[in-house]
Structure 1
Amino acid sequence: MEFAKGLVSKSVELGYQGFSAIDENTHIADDMYIIPYVIKQAVVHASNVARGRVSYWYIFEKAVFNYPNKLALVYPRVNPGHTGDDAYILEKYTFQELYDIILRLSEILAHRYGVKENDTIGIDATNKPIFIFLWYALWNLGATPAFINFNTIGNPLVHSIKVANISQVFIEPDAAGPIKETQDDITKELPNVQLHFLNEDELLQEILDPNSLKFRPTTRRSQDHDWGTAALIYTSGTTGLPKPAIMSWRKAGLGSSLYGHIVRIKPESIVFTSMPLYHSTAAVLGVCTTFNQAAAVALSPKFSASKLWTQVKLTKATHLQYVGEVCRYLLNSPIHPDEKNHNLQVAYGNGLRRDIWKEFKDRFGIDAIGEFYAATESPIALTSFQKGDYGIGACRNYGKLINYILSYQQTLIKMDPEDSSIEYRNSKGFCERTKAGESGELIMKLFWAKNPETVFQGYLGNKKETESKIIRNVFKKGDAWFRSGDLLKSDSNGLYFFVDRLGDTFRWKSENVSATEVENQFFDKINEISQVVVVGVRIPNHEGRAGSAVIELKPNTIKSKDEILKEIYNSLKQELPKYAIPIFIEFVDKIRESDNHKIPKKQYRDQKLPKGENGDKVIYWLNKGKYEELTQNDWDDITNGKIKL
């Protein structure tokens, strides 16, 4: 810690004015806002671990006891047939009211449905208070909630239930469509799984009744480690099927507390989120982070660029959660009368592009951006709280003191020049750190190399995929590091910037899309296909990458391409969520392979739309449920935002 001691000594020597001059280069004032809080919360967390109180339930309960009459949850429920401010009826719950509702629902779950400690229970619900009621009631009972993506259908849905060993699924009416379509398959393959299609109105009436019984166990999972499973949140990957990533108690409790402090959430704050609750962004960094600070959650039914600002105004939100696509959609939308008529001070999330960062803040009158880098299963979390002009575009923005401390835990490693998904190894067999401005994979040191699960819990029941995220013998023999699977780069000030994702997973419509999963559906459903490659392609002025499929047909195929395209869409929409269905399709005579029979996907990932490099390709695009030839006019309308994909 010689670096830190030198800074303190220098600041004392120069006095306050001198310290200010130093801080302009070191940003140590920001570090000193964070470090004491980290130390304090680490002590609190250690005390909770020692007392067998690792469950987040106790954090929520503390907020209830300290702030019983303070607003905890506000929900702008749609008011049919009305417009403007009258388009919503605000449902409001104080911490005490929310607590009592959860205790009443706990009684129902325990004694009507037989839910007990250590059960894994599926929640299949849209963004409604009932999602949070179910979630926290399960935590109260010591059960493990599994947040099912309500878009999932068919075999991926069956797999999601099976792999997590779910015994019961509670289904909210607006999320029931896909699971009803898959019900026969679930019943056939998983006959012991109970599916409960809830009558939301009747259930709400019962749990809002002050005379209903309440259920409050004396302890909850007292034997759990802090790296134990708090909840399961599904993520897709190169295996082709959803994987239940383990959200640990440490991440739900300590992690959310630290992030709430960094983005300046206080008890008087109201955090607005329209992100889906089945994702960790809304669940951990939204709800858990907010309740951890005894603040209120403003839960939107779903994201709508035309309705968001009215909801933000009505809920009196001070913080807005986003993903990068949301920011772009809002900027491309017409001026809204409420877009500056609000109480917002901070917008926080991930994926805000550097080129629209300042425009986003200026147009909507937002003082600060809290950008972060994380993943559901990842033990790494990079944060940036950005005001003024310094740090625009960065997902890690600390002062030199924290950067110095983190240098022992986080770094970027060089990648193979021939294949950016493989780490570079020097003549001694070890990796090398990148230089400033050079892209590399972000990795995090696992200090207990023989017991990595204490830091990285990985995926439930999938040891192979969990181990694939760990890289060993990195800088010395025997060490172990977590692989983020993403390329980042740093600058001379130690700021980190996101570059791109590695491998076959790409991001579209705020969702991770598994190329392998989509490819498998092509092979399973379309007999005429000999080979298919699915990649994510960039579209100007759009966030993420849109799905693109390159198809090689079997010889002597009789069906026309129009018939095959129609069959493709009709088949894929039954098995894949909308965001995973490829936007673009190209037929080729032969998919090129390397001499070791691998397909170098870069050749298709970087193709030029709409007609290819020479202007002679025929590429089809998905237009209102039908694939049709992509013309230059279509492409212009897509890139200019006249057509929404």
Structure 2
Amino acid sequence: MQEVQPSLEKSIHLFWSGEGNPESAIPGAKHLDPLLETAQRLQPTPPEKGFLDKLFYIYTSGTTGMPKAAIVVNCRYFRMSSLVYYGFRMRPDDVMYDCLPLYHAAGNIVGIGQCLLQGMTIVIRKKFSASHFWEDCVKYNCTIVQYIGEICRYLLNQPYQEVERQHRVRMALGNGLRASIWREFMARFGIAQVAEFYGATECNCSLGNFDNNVGSCGFNSRILPGVYPIGLVKVHEDTMELIRGPDGVCVPCKPGEPGQLVGRIVKSNPLQHFDGYLNQSATNKKIARDVFSKGDAAYLTGDVLVMDKYGYMYFRDRTGDTFRWKGENVSTTEVEGTLSRILNLTDVVVYGVEIPGIEGKAGMAAIADPENSCDLESFAGELKKALPLYARPVFLRFLHEVSKTSTYKFQKMELRKQGFDPALVKDRLYFLDSSRWRDIPDLSSLGEPFSLTGRRDTLIWDRVSSSSVGAATCVPVALLHGEGCERTLLSCGHVSGSLTSTFCGCSLVSCTFFLAESRWESGNEGPGLALLRRTQHLRNMERL
């Protein structure tokens, strides 16, 4: 509540219940228990409420930014709950296992909604546990389990247990199951149906994979597309702006072309209305005009999907996650799935980072490796087999754990901001040099001229040339010239010996720097060089 309280309207009253005293943490909150004790016992007059009246607010999970309070009206609750019940042919005697947060739509509406509206039995677990998941399913005779985000991968990552094949589960319901582990998940745990769906708390274009098509998150008819007015429209890969034709209307995608999923807003139809957020500015950002035709309005999901020739939809990436490198579009979702499989289903987050002076974004992977057990040489070899050159991450960051939302989705915002700058990142960093991973040293202690991000040749040269022979310390730069370098060598004039500190100032990608520390005493002509470590000139990474 502390995070979202500043964005709430002042008219909203806050209450707390139970033991403790959160008033200091949540200013203005009132203790509910004594108010209930003194409240009137007479039944109040039932308010006249309809299908379009507000039911409650649900805060988005914050995968791509700050959580937003999405408005849930009565008909939205009915629609979301009924879509999965009837679409996936559930039964009133089913028992659903719900280990998801109840303050999000998946655990609340999709899960608990089956109990409230259909009379289904719901087994609630306070928090997901991979080691006790199948034990619970056997104990409570569950026939349907819910998943979201990376839960299925966490289950696959568990050691084999006999109990995982002793259950009665026939269906796994949720979203976010990667295509790379889809069949393995079904085969290992004996799940007959994966009920993958696409949706968000506030969206008006939910989808469902109702016939168990591997990898798909839903279907929309190509024969009668107007029955359910949603579609994929082309966007600029870098800015994600909508691409429009000569008539000003968005350009629809053909089968196999990635595009942003949009849903036409029809105010007269409760099922196609967009209720938005409490914050009107946030609501306006999710609405586009002249999408399917002149004068219309559509909800922007912010997600990139692909439709095949039959009408099946496949999730590709969230808006802003796909990036362009070496003239090719890189899907972070696909690369994450490949890397996670190579690394025995560990947590992997892939995102694009900018390199000053270089077009596009280079791939960077943040990998959970708390035990420092990753074999870089083997990993590089497996990457070469599994991914084309443009899709291989140029940078690696190893950390203790990867930050996730409460719905088990990775958070990339902060990782993307920090990039590969050692001044901001204290985890282990590596860059891909040909087919080998090499260390990125922390040069922040050497001053601004040696910052890896945006490093300039002239600054390095100025720093070296300004040192005097009598100085206590000097950081010379030794340059190994690459093929095609025709620049004249420049000497700093402070070092003599076999390894002369020089700088050519060229901008070739093949030139590599060696950083070394030297100490001079007055009258001492020896360099006393102590080679530190090798690093690539990051301004010129186009060759990688």
Contact 2:149 2:407 (C-alpha < 8 Å) held by counterparts: no
Choose between structure 1 and 2: higher helix proportion.
1
Match in the other structure for 1:486: 303
Written as runs of structure 1 = structure 2, the 5 A alignment for 1:364-443 is 364-387=189-212, 391-397=213-219, 400=221, 404-405=224-225, 409-419=229-239, 421-443=240-262
Unpaired segments ≥5 residues, structure 2:
324-331, 341-345, 357-398, 443-544
Amino acid of the residue matched to residue 194 of structure 1?
K
Q: 1:194 aligns with which of 30, 40, 45?
A: 30
Contact 1:488 1:499 (C-alpha < 8 Å) held by counterparts: yes
Question: Aligned with 1:467: secondary structure?
Answer: helix
Match in the other structure for 1:634: none
Report Cα offsets for 1:42-83 as digits up to 9, x if no partner. Answer: xxxxxxxxxxxxxxxxxxxxxxxxxxxxxxxxxxxxxxxxxx
1:618 and 2:477 matched: no
Match in the other structure for 1:168: 14
Match in the other structure for 1:588: 421
Amino acid of the residue matched to residue 443 of structure 1?
V
Match in the other structure for 1:331: 156
Distance (Å, rounded) in 2 between the aligned partners of 1:253 and 1:197: 31
Deviation at 1:275, TM superposition (A): 0.8
Contact 2:422 2:440 (C-alpha < 8 Å) held by counterparts: no
Match in the other structure for 1:498: 315
Match in the other structure for 1:261: 86
| 1:215–1:440 CA distance, 2 compared to 1 (3 A) | farther
**Structure 1 runs of 4+ with >4 Å offset:** 195-198, 213-220, 236-240, 405-408, 451-454, 535-539, 546-552, 576-587, 612-617
| 1:239–1:282 CA distance, 2 compared to 1 (3 A) | closer
Deviation at 1:232, TM superposition (A): 0.8
Match in the other structure for 2:274: 456
Deviation at 1:267, TM superposition (A): 1.5
Deviation at 1:353, TM superposition (A): 1.1
Q: 2:59 aligns with which of 234, 246, 253?
A: 234
Written as runs of structure 1 = structure 2, the 5 A alignment for 1:630-641 is none
The higher radius of gyration belongs to: 2
Distance (Å, rounded) in 2 between the aligned partners of 1:283 and 1:302: 14
Contact 1:370 1:384 (C-alpha < 8 Å) held by counterparts: yes
Which stretch shows the higher mean deviation, 408-417 or 324-333? 408-417
- What TM-score do the two structures reach when normalised by structure 2? 0.59
Amino acid of the residue matched to residue 258 of structure 1?
L
Deviation at 1:277, TM superposition (A): 0.6
Distance (Å, rounded) in 2 between the aligned partners of 1:306 and 1:238: 26
| 1:220–1:543 CA distance, 2 compared to 1 (3 A) | farther
Deviation at 1:545, TM superposition (A): 3.4
Question: Aligned with 1:611: secondary structure?
Answer: strand
- Larger relative contact order (Cα-Cα within 8 Å, sequence gap ≥ 6): 1
Unpaired segments ≥5 residues, structure 1:
1-151, 207-212, 507-534, 553-568, 592-603, 621-645
Amino acid of the residue matched to residue 498 of structure 1?
F
Tell me the number of residue pairs that the alignment of Structure 1 and Structure 2 aligns.
371
Amino acid of the residue matched to residue 404 of structure 1?
L
Distance (Å, rounded) in 2 between the aligned partners of 1:548 and 1:165: 41
Distance (Å, rounded) in 1 between the aligned partners of 2:53 and 2:254: 37
Written as runs of structure 1 = structure 2, the 5 A alignment for 1:47-86 is none
Question: Aligned with 1:226: secondary structure?
Answer: coil
Which stretch shows the higher mean deviation, 253-262 or 317-326? 253-262
| 1:319–1:454 CA distance, 2 compared to 1 (3 A) | closer
Question: Aligned with 2:162: secondary structure?
Answer: coil
| 1:217–1:258 CA distance, 2 compared to 1 (3 A) | farther
Which stretch shows the higher mean deviation, 377-386 or 310-319? 377-386
Written as runs of structure 1 = structure 2, the 5 A alignment for 1:566-585 is 585=418
Distance (Å, rounded) in 2 between the aligned partners of 1:577 and 1:456: 23
| 1:447–1:225 CA distance, 2 compared to 1 (3 A) | same
Distance (Å, rounded) in 2 between the aligned partners of 1:263 and 1:216: 43
Question: Aligned with 2:275: secondary structure?
Answer: coil
Distance (Å, rounded) in 1 between the aligned partners of 2:228 and 2:166: 45
Deviation at 1:197, TM superposition (A): 8.5
Report Cα offsets for 1:439-489 as digits up to 9, x if no partner. Answer: 00001111349x9998111101x1111011111012332111111110001
Contact 1:227 1:457 (C-alpha < 8 Å) held by counterparts: no
Question: Aligned with 2:26: secondary structure?
Answer: helix
Contact 1:446 1:480 (C-alpha < 8 Å) held by counterparts: yes
Deviation at 1:168, TM superposition (A): 3.1
Deviation at 1:414, TM superposition (A): 0.7
Report Cα offsets for 1:137-163 as digits up to 9, x if no partner. Answer: xxxxxxxxxxxxxxx6x4x14336x34
- What TM-score do the two structures reach when normalised by structure 1? 0.50
Q: 2:129 aligns with which of 304, 316, 319?
A: 304
Amino acid of the residue matched to residue 349 of structure 2?
R
Distance (Å, rounded) in 2 between the aligned partners of 1:583 and 1:545: 9
